[in-house]
């Protein structure tokens, strides 16, 4: 398949907002691909060349791309730069200048998906001395052979600025549609994805043999997509919802999924990035576990024995950076509080009920600095309250109530786990949103060229972002400066095409930055689109910026459905 068709498809999709139409276009496209191409195409659709946990980096900056465009088209670096200033998107610059290029290579060939994909992969893989020149050469070769439209997307991919705004739910639907003309197979495809976090691999396996997707298996070193917790306002509600349950402390640490095979150990973060380098002490303990293969999950945090208190995630990471990992782990040892085991010696444990998984867990942990979460059975709401009060005394965040009969709900936010935090109803609660636009400052803030953010949450059902708050407070001067610079880099001409909006910012930006926002309560507003019904959406009252959340990807943010639940809880 020619890459030209991919570029044409991306171009079409960029202009459509109907999810159904996009799904159908993608489904038709998948029908034309062989399994290997489907894998490559899926990664490109996600704006990647591999899942994030491979930890690749193109290592290609704007300056390098500008120079390559100049070299390939015969325009001067100055011409390229001034067009970039005008258009704000090097993809469009490449497109424009290739259209009018002054020179063309003698040898010119049509690009296939596989060729583009494997060259991009090579660009990401080259490192070390001389790599800049080589990367530039490969990119130059691609652009030399590109049509203007192909160049637009090649440049966007290497700069990690794909912008076509298709989330995983649409891709999962499209795969199912491509085989059965409906969503019937989506649950199986989705489960496969939740077990390996590699949508390219899932697409390839599915196209090879749609039936086999039902038997997709967990593999060590391919992280599962994390199970997520729902929330409820009180212990009574929890008992009403799931009956007698397991209750654990909720530790505010660093979530990690730990994989071991033989002597090799890998650690994946909440957003499934490799983290072994930050936690050699955890790697060392996990390596000694008496199993050939195991996957388990826990919350890591440092403990100060002198003060008998836990450090939060931020403090833990801060200490590790400031004093070095070795020193910090001596004075403030890091413990992992293990809360689930998903795989052991070739056996998938995710479908076993939690009470069985917990038994297995208790047979393995504690082991060295791998502890287990404090756990009790709760038969009544009072039991939950008692545990909650205990957690408060220990300066912890709250508790997690777990359905004893539920499987490990990989990739899903379900009532298998319910969080109850001290903040509900009383102090502040927060949501995680993505920045979709920003405002210029007035008065004293004018000098920072930053006056606030337009923030959106994610509607999974529609696969789009919906706005929920204009956030103008909570920023330090330093943060304002940082935002002003960073947002200026990711500015866009128009709104992201997967955003549903009414309120407009001064500038739109690519949805890339995840922020935690505190608020007083949730109200209805005609200006915001979250959960939009009868002319009104949900909005945060008195929103304040708390922090950036680099541990979450843009599709891991609070969903519109959660906001609706939180609104109902607040009432």
Positions in the binding site for ligand ATP (CB under 6 A): 228-229, 248, 250-251, 255, 299, 339, 373, 400, 417, 419
- Neighbouring-strand partners of residue 508: 437, 492
Q: How far is the CB of 62 from ligand ATP (least distance, A)?
A: 32
- What's the angle, vertex CA 378, arms to CA 377 and CA 383, rounded to 5? 130
Residue among 229 and 518 whose Cβ is closer to ligand ATP:
229
Angle, CA 417 vertex, CA 412 and CA 421 arms, to 5°: 115
Bridge partners of residue 231, in order along the sequence: 419
Rounded-to-integer distance, Cα 213 and Cα 190, Å: 9
Going from the C-alpha of 38 to that of each of 42, 47, 171, 205, the distances in angstroms are 6, 14, 11, 9
In whole angstroms, how close is the CB of 371 to ligand ATP at the nearest point?
Answer: 11
Phi and psi dihedrals of 480, rounded to 5?
A: -60, -40
Strand, helix or coil at 61? coil
Burial 309-327 (b: 16+ CB within 10 A, else e): ebbbbeebbebbeeeebee
d(CA 327, CA 477): 32
Q: Which is nearer to ligand ATP, 349 or 400 (CB)?
A: 400
- What is the C-alpha R_g of the chain? 25
* 209 SS3 class: coil
The contacts of residue 106 (CB under 8 Å, 6+ apart) are none
Which residue has the closest beta carbon to ligand ATP?
Answer: 255
Cβ closest to ligand ATP, residue 222 vs residue 255: 255
Q: Collect all residues with Cβ–Cβ distance below 8 Å to 536 and sequence separation of at least 6.
A: 524, 525, 526
Note if 330 is an active site residue: no
Write out the DSSP string of 239-268. Answer: HHHH-SEEEEEE--SEEEEEEEETTEEEEE
Q: How far is CA 185 from CA 180, 197, 252, in A?
A: 8, 18, 37
Q: Which is nearer to ligand ATP, 1 or 364 (CB)?
A: 364
CA distance linking residue 92 with residue 422, whole number of Å: 49
Neighbour count for residue 187 (Cβ, 10 Å)? 12
What is the smallest separation between the CB atom of 3 and ligand ATP, expressed in angstroms?
36
DSSP-derived secondary structure for 91-133? HHHHHHHHHT-S---SS--PPBHHHHHHHHHHHHH--STTHHH
Q: List the catalytic residue out of 250, 402, 512, 552.
A: 250
Catalytic residues: 250
């Amino acid at each position: 398949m020619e890459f030209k068709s991919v570029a044409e498809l991306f171009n079409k999709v960029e202009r459509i907002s109907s999810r159904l139409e996009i799904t159908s276009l993608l489904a038709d496209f998948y029908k034309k691909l062989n399994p290997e191409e489907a894998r490559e195409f899926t990664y490109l659709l996600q704006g990647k060349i591999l899942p994030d946990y491979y930890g690749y980096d193109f290592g290609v900056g704007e300056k390098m791309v500008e120079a390559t465009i100049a070299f390939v088209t015969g325009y001067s670096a100055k011409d390229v730069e001034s067009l970039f200033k005008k258009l704000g998107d090097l993809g469009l610059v490449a497109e424009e200048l290739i259209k009018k290029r002054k020179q063309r290579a003698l040898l010119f060939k049509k690009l296939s998906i596989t060729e583009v994909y494997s060259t991009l992969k090579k660009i990401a893989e080259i490192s070390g001395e001389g790599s800049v020149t080589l990367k530039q050469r490969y990119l130059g070769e691609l652009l030399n052979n590109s049509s203007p439209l192909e160049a637009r997307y090649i440049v966007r991919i290497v700069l990690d600025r794909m912008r076509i705004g298709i989330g995983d739910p649409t891709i999962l639907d499209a795969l199912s549609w491509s085989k059965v003309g409906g969503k019937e197979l989506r649950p199986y495809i989705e489960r496969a994805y939740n077990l390996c976090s590699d949508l390219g691999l899932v697409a390839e396996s599915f196209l090879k043999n749609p039936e086999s997707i039902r038997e997709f298996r967990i593999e060590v070193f391919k992280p599962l997509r994390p199970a997520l917790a729902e929330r409820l306002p009180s212990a009574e509600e929890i008992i009403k919802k799931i009956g007698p349950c397991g209750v654990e402390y909720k530790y505010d640490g660093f979530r990690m999924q730990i994989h071991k095979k033989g002597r090799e150990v890998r650690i994946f973060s909440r957003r499934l990035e490799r983290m072994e380098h930050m936690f050699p002490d955890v790697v060392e303990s996990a390596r000694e576990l008496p199993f050939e293969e195991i996957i388990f999950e826990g919350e890591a945090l440092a403990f100060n024995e002198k003060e008998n208190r836990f450090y939060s995630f931020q403090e833990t990471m801060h200490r590790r950076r400031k004093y070095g990992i070795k020193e910090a782990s001596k004075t403030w040892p890091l413990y992992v509080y293990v809360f689930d085991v998903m795989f052991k010696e070739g056996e998938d444990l995710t479908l076993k009920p939690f009470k069985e998984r917990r038994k297995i867990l208790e047979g393995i942990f504690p082991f060295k600095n791998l502890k287990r979460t404090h756990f009790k059975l709760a038969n009544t709401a009072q039991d939950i309250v008692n545990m909650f009060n205990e957690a408060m005394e220990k300066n912890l965040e709250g508790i997690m109530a777990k359905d004893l009969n539920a499987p490990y709900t990989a990739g899903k936010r379900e009532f298998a786990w319910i969080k109850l935090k001290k903040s509900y109803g009383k102090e502040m609660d927060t949501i995680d949103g993505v920045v979709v636009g920003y405002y210029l400052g007035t008065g004293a803030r004018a000098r920072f060229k930053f006056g606030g953010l337009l923030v959106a949450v994610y509607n999974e059902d529609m696969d789009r972002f919906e706005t929920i708050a204009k956030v103008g407070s909570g920023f330090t001067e330093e943060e304002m400066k940082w935002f002003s610079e960073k947002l200026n880099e990711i500015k866009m001409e128009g709104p992201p095409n997967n955003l549903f909006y009414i309120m407009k910012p001064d500038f739109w930006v690519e949805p890339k930055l995840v922020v935690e926002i505190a608020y007083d309560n949730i109200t209805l507003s005609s200006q915001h689109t979250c959960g939009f019904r009868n002319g009104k959406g949900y909005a945060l009252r008195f929103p304040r910026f708390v922090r950036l959340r680099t541990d979450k990807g843009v599709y891991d943010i609070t969903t519109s459905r959660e906001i609706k639940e939180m609104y109902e809880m607040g009432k």
